[in-house]
A and B are shown apart, each in its own frame.
Chain A
Amino acid sequence: MTQVPDSRHMTATTATRVLGTVALVAVVLMGLLGLVVSPADVVQGQAVRMLYLHVPSIWIAYGAFVLTSFSSALFLFRSRHRHDGGRHHDRLAGSAAEVGVVFAGVTLVTGMLWGRVTWGTYWQWDARLTTTVLLFVTYLGYLALRRLPADPVIRGRRAAVMALISFVNVPIVHFSVDWWRTLHQKASLSVGRRPEITGEMYWTLLYSTLAVTIVASWLIVHRYRVIRLEELRDEEALEALIASRLREDEAQA
């Protein structure tokens, strides 16, 4: 008879199933708005549709890296006060970084495709593009560090320090278009400034940001639970090993 896993051994709950369904519907609607309802741009034509994935992706990547840094800081400075030794913060930092890297990758790919159509080239080493690829590579390094075999607490501390160092690049990426001359255009939406994007395109961009946020939240929750399950698997394997040794000793006695 097949064993049905209990809820402790699953990544889905009723809440995340609802969130997943909402995310799916939101993405379908985003596709409709971005590809059908919103108009072409007066200069770049259909290429503008890439914007509805490109811009929200980098915003989500920023948000995910903020969450990674915040959780890492809590792991470093507040873990002693927690019954689990701060592993919750460590897991949250790791899962957010994974999702952040995915969306930073999406940003780079969509940006390159857009650049080929608009600029006439896939890639240029201007300040925005260079700092963005550096951000991507740095957080890939952070994820590699998390995979190094070591004591979980020591590995968590090393990763947390790396996360805080890596975060320095986030504001550099964002403000690079203001600090240096770049091929990449300046931000079209900024707090306290009139948007440089009009009508349906503006609302589609805002809606896409909401849809991508829901998807990212769903992904982070699931990745968090997968990391927790991996830890649980290791702990149970160790417990089983100790138990078998105890049984062997009892049999010998």
Chain B
Amino acid sequence: MDLSPRHEVEKPGELRQKVHRNRRRAVLAATVVLIAAAAFVTAQGLRNATLFFRNVDEAVEQRPELGDRRFRLQGRVVPASVDSESGVTTFQIVHGCVVASVRHTADPPALFASPWIPVVLEGEWVLSKVQTFAGIDTHYFLSDRMLVKHTNEYASVNEQRVSEKLPQGFFNDCPFEVPAADS
């Protein structure tokens, strides 16, 4: 019995091989694009992901190294400090018993209005004498981008207003008085 390829079936076979080859090229091209996308994502991730933000206490300690470089600053907004005038929002944020004064020049996200909400700000230190509720500081933080850092706590609107409470022990051993949310 002869099952070896014959002339008649070679032509469709060649066509099939061509289709096969084209399909393989297309899939290889798609794979290369995917690998390139993965490499791009990894590069972006390594650049930004490992230290996404500095907490207020660290950023204040690192002021000499940071200079006027842009970075992300994280802290909880002190509700009693928020003020808005001519498109500029001023407020104070706190973390690790260190307070920083902030001038924010863009529109804050809607959740900024929640008391003691943690925020991540993009901007830089500016040399200027300012008064915070913890005392006099030599710099304020000039920010033009704000992200609200939502906590992992979820509570119904019908339950106690957890957001208006400070996290337990947040101001333990701090050398200053914390202004109340409605002061």
Contacts and interface: CB of A to CB of B under 8 A. Distances in A.
A176 B45 CA distance: 12
Given A144-B34, A145-B31, A181-B51, A41 B154 contact: yes
A42 B45 contact: no
B153 interface: yes
Contacts of B99: none
B179 interface: no
B128 interface: no
B23 to A, nearest CB: 6
A246 interface: yes
B38 A137 contact: yes
Contact of B154 (A124, A181, A197, A246): A197
Nearest to B1: A249
Contacts of B157: 39-42, 45
A181 B59 CA distance: 14
A117 B109 CA distance: 8
Contact of B148 (A118, A130, A140, A141): A118
Nearest to A197: B154
Contacts, number: 146
B89 to A, nearest CB: 13
B120 interface: yes
A247 B120 CA distance: 76
A130 B151 CA distance: 19
B49 A44 contact: no
A169 to B, nearest CB: 10
B18 to A, nearest CB: 12
B38 A44 contact: no
B37 interface: yes
Interface string B136-151: 0000000000111111
Interface string A107-132: 00000000001111100111100110
B156 A201 contact: yes
A188 B34 contact: no
B93 to A, nearest CB: 16
A143 B146 CA distance: 38
A45 B154 CA distance: 10
- The bracket for how many chain B residues form the interface is 35 or more
B168 interface: no
B52 interface: yes
Given A196-B152, A198-B156, A180 B111 contact: no
- The bracket for how many chain A residues form the interface is 35 or more
B151 A185 contact: yes
B24 to A, nearest CB: 6
Contact of A137 (B37, B151, B155, B158): B37
A44 B125 CA distance: 30
Contacts of A117: 110
Interface string B1-40: 1110000010000000000100110011011001101100
Contact of A201 (B3, B28, B109, B154): B154
Given A40-B156, A198-B156, 12 more contacts: A38-B156, A39-B157, A42-B157, A43-B150, A119-B109, A120-B111, A126-B52, A130-B44, A131-B49, A137-B38, A197-B155, A245-B3
Nearest to A125: B48
Interface string B107-133: 011110010010010000000000000
A244 to B, nearest CB: 10
B161 A42 contact: yes
A148 B24 contact: yes
